[in-house]
């Protein structure tokens, strides 16, 4: 059952890498998510996908709502990332991603998951 887990090394935490991601990254959109991504061919951590999740405080003042949305986004990613992981490991790239919630209301999980699958499938089809 551990095959669907998210490892600690997959978290995007470095301020430097987040800044370069926003400065030089490309984006894909599918409501209610926007994905900013950047691929590299660095020699260390090939085949690794690191990601972060952002829910704006401007749209959701209550931390309870922001945390709920982050949990839903993380779960949708966890269950739908396997084709992307296979694609990245075959192409020998490193991928950094940031999921940004752009909806103005708290959407149910089904809508978030539908947006996640669209975003990830669009990302797989992009040329590297």
Write out pLDDT tens, residues 35-91: 999 998 775 665 689 999 999 999 999 999 999 999 999 999 999 998 888 888 888
Domain total for the chain?
1
User: Pick from 107, 119, 98: which is nearest to 59 by CA?
Assistant: 107
Lowest-confidence region among 6-20, 32-46, 56-70, 90-104: 32-46
CATH number of the domain to which 37 belongs: 3.30.230.10
Q: Look at residue 43 and tell me if it is in a domain.
A: yes
Residue 3 lies in a domain: no
Three-state SS for 128?
coil
**How far apart are alpha carbons 111 and 117 in whole angstroms?**
10
Q: Is the pTM of this model over 0.95?
A: no
Q: Is residue 1 part of a domain?
A: no
Residue-range definition of the domain harbouring residue 105: 8-125
Q: Does 102 fall in a domain?
A: yes
User: Considering the domain boundaries, does residue 2 fall inside one?
Assistant: no
Cα–Cα distances in angstroms (integers) from residue 89 to residues 30, 44, 53, 110, in the given order: 24, 13, 22, 28
């Amino acid at each position: 059952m551990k095959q669907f887990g998210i490892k600690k090394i997959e978290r995007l935490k470095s301020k430097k890498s987040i800044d370069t991601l926003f400065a030089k990254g490309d984006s894909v959109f599918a409501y209610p998510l926007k994905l900013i991504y950047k691929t590299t061919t660095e020699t260390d951590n090939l085949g690794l996908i690191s990601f972060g999740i952002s829910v704006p405080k401007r749209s959701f003042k209550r931390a309870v709502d922001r945390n709920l949305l982050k949990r839903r986004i993380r779960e949708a990613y966890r269950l739908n990332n396997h084709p992307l992981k296979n694609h990245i490991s075959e192409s020998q790239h490193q991928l950094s991603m940031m999921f940004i919630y752009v909806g103005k209301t708290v959407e149910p999980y089904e809508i978030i998951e539908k947006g996640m699958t669209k975003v990830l499938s669009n990302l797989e089809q992009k040329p590297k």
